[in-house]
A and B are shown apart, each in its own frame.
Chain A
Amino acid sequence: MSLQFNNEQMTELKRLVSRYPEGKQKSALLPVLHLAQDSFGGWLPTEAMDYVAGLLSIEPIEVYEVATFYSMYNLKPVGKFVFEVCQTGPCMISGSDNIIAYIQKQLGIQPGETTKDGVFTLKLVECLGACGYAPMMQVGKVYREHLTKEKVDAIIAEYRMQVIAQN
């Protein structure tokens, strides 16, 4: 794997850096790490973090300490679709436990695991700001809300179809 932004990603990098004052390019670190994660297969290997450090002219350690602090950065490979199911109070009282158990059963994995085919990862996360639309989960950049067992089945089928269509 060669970890390099393509031209389009480089343009985006420049746009991100230009939002901050001269000499404060480190401020772009969080957005640039999002860009790197999206560009390099959904997670941040050390090589990607070192690459970002070079692009922003900062020390690699400055990138590591940030990447390990924020929950959205994956430091290990994840499946193609990551189900991040909210388990905090408001979702819990609205039935998230049942949904979590059901997803575990349907995918045959525990929280923190990825299916053998590398398609799905299940993660339990804290409040995502969708408490009124509970139970819910985040998958990539979208929220799937008002989850029921039927809806979970449909969502899993939808993503499986996407994988088949891409192969």
Chain B
Amino acid sequence: MGVKLLLEKANVPGIRSYDVYRREGGYTTAEKALKEMSIEAIVEEVKKSGLRGRGGAGFPAGMKWSFIAKPEGLPRHLVCNADESEPGTFKDRYLMEFLPHLLIEGLLISSFALGSNDTYIYIRGEYAWVATILEEAIAEATKNGFLGKNILGTGFDCRIHVHRGAGAYICGEETALIESLEGKRGNPRIKPPFPAIQGVWMRPTVVNNVETLAAIVPIIKMGGEEYAKIGVGRSTGTKLISACGNINKPGVYEIDMTISVEDFIYSDEYCGGIANGKKLKACIPGGSSVPILPANLLLKTAKGETRYMNYESLSDGGFATGSMMGSGGFIVLDEDQCIVKNTLTLARFYRHESCGQCSPCREGTGWMEKIIQKIELGKGEISDIDLLWDIQRKIEGNTICPLGDAAAWPVAAAIRHFRDEFEWHITNRELSQTSNFGLQHYADPIHVPA
């Protein structure tokens, strides 16, 4: 069993309620932080922990906190990013649904450290019942003096508000989220100014992911240095992975980032192997935006070394032969899956979710979808593959927000590693409509299930 810092109590009956959470030692860390620690000391512990943002970009949380501007007389805000819309990602939902008070305790400590008296949880609109769970937990915490005015007699006031979005992946991008919180369309802002200087209502704002903010509790509880001892290198602490696709045990797992990708997929403690006795073909290890890898490059790096479930190892080899940790959305594809079709659904997703402000993203995502659709329907030309490559390159790096890159990368990686499958679709127009390219040379031959 690996170390569990976030989900340790997830299976305690009734842990969703304040009483049980409290009985299990909940809110004692908030008491320690608010009563015994200075703001500087809290930020220092977070810095020492090496905690990297769990929303996808992996930016060090302590450093982000130290950037927040503190002009006289202007309120500051902490905003918790619970938009969770990256395909393959459903870990924040799990945390909020089963351990709402852990998030609230993390929000309280973080709000105290950042000086946020009104903290917002921006939750994707579809998670309506999760929003209700959070509101109930907030009411309980308020009743018990952990939210509201003069918390624990410290003079610190904190209210937490749950703000439901209304269906838009782009609102997970922090500046789009801020626009949406202001009651506008989710069009990302041009940076600078950064939210830490001018965020919501032009006030200094820190946006952090749900998991990042929940991790503040174990960090303050055990101390930043102890937390940093878990994991490896710059991948400190634990990470939630939401695993899905063709595996025996889809679900949310907490890992300590020292486990190998192979163990994660095949061990019974985690994914439990590929479903229906099939073979592993490919995997998108960090949410739909990160590069897909064929089985052989997933389990071992290009140098032939074991690949591990952490930031550094997953990105080993760069985009040529590696991928990314991203949001921790781990999507497994078995031998029966068609890479062209899978890429098509992702291209459609990004076309649908583009906010439309920048032409390379707005037009490019539409073109990519159309071309892949054409190939999928057995009507493609060989030159379409180069055209796709060209379009994705022209999107990448030429847009206001990273959604453009996020749309380009999956297409680029699919062509990079599975070009022969695209070609097969084009040269076998009829066959490709009734059968699949299959496994070919992608799988590691040692993984033939018994």
Contact = CB atoms under 8 A, between A and B. Distances in A.
A34 interface: yes
A145 to B, nearest CB: 11
Contact of A93 (B161, B164, B337): B337
B333 A93 contact: yes
Contacts of B129: 141-142
A129 B89 contact: yes
Contacts, number: 144
B244 A134 contact: yes
B259 interface: no
Contacts of A163: none
A128 B130 CA distance: 13
A94 B84 contact: no
A34 B166 contact: yes
Contacts of B252: 132
Interface stretch (A18-26, A102-110, A111-119, A152-160): A18-26
A126 B169 CA distance: 9
Interface in B206-254: 242-246, 250-252
A121 to B, nearest CB: 15
B59 interface: no
A72 B242 CA distance: 25
Contacts of B288: 88-89, 127
Contacts of B269: none
A31 B90 contact: no
A30 interface: yes
B124 A92 contact: no
A130 B124 CA distance: 12
Contact of A30 (B169, B183, B244, B333): B183
A27 B182 contact: yes
Contacts of A129: 84-85, 89-90, 93, 124, 126-127
B54 to A, nearest CB: 15
A30 B125 contact: yes
Interface of B: 75, 84-90, 93, 118, 120, 124-129, 159, 161, 163-169, 180-186, 201, 242-246, 250-252, 284, 288, 329, 331, 333-334, 337, 341-342, 345-346, 348-349, 352-353, 355
Contacts of A130: 90, 93
A126 B161 CA distance: 27
A66 to B, nearest CB: 6
Given A126-B353, A127-B87, A71 B250 contact: no
A89 to B, nearest CB: 4
Interface residues of A, number: 40
Given A30-B180, A88-B345, A94-B246, A128 B126 contact: yes
Contacts of B245: 90, 93-94, 131
A70 B244 contact: no
Contacts of B183: 26-30, 56, 58, 62, 66
Contacts of B128: 141
A65 interface: yes
A65 B185 contact: yes
Contacts of B244: 90, 94, 131-132, 134
A65 B357 CA distance: 14
A148 interface: no
The 7 closest A-B pairs by CB, nearest first: A71-B167, A29-B183, A70-B166, A132-B250, A72-B167, A26-B183, A131-B244
Given A34-B164, A89-B342, A131-B331, A27 B250 contact: no
B329 A131 contact: yes
Contact of A131 (B87, B120, B334, B341): B87
23 contacts: A19-B159, A29-B183, A30-B165, A33-B166, A66-B183, A66-B185, A69-B186, A72-B126, A73-B166, A89-B87, A89-B88, A89-B331, A90-B245, A92-B342, A94-B246, A126-B87, A127-B349, A129-B85, A129-B89, A129-B93, A131-B87, A131-B331, A132-B250
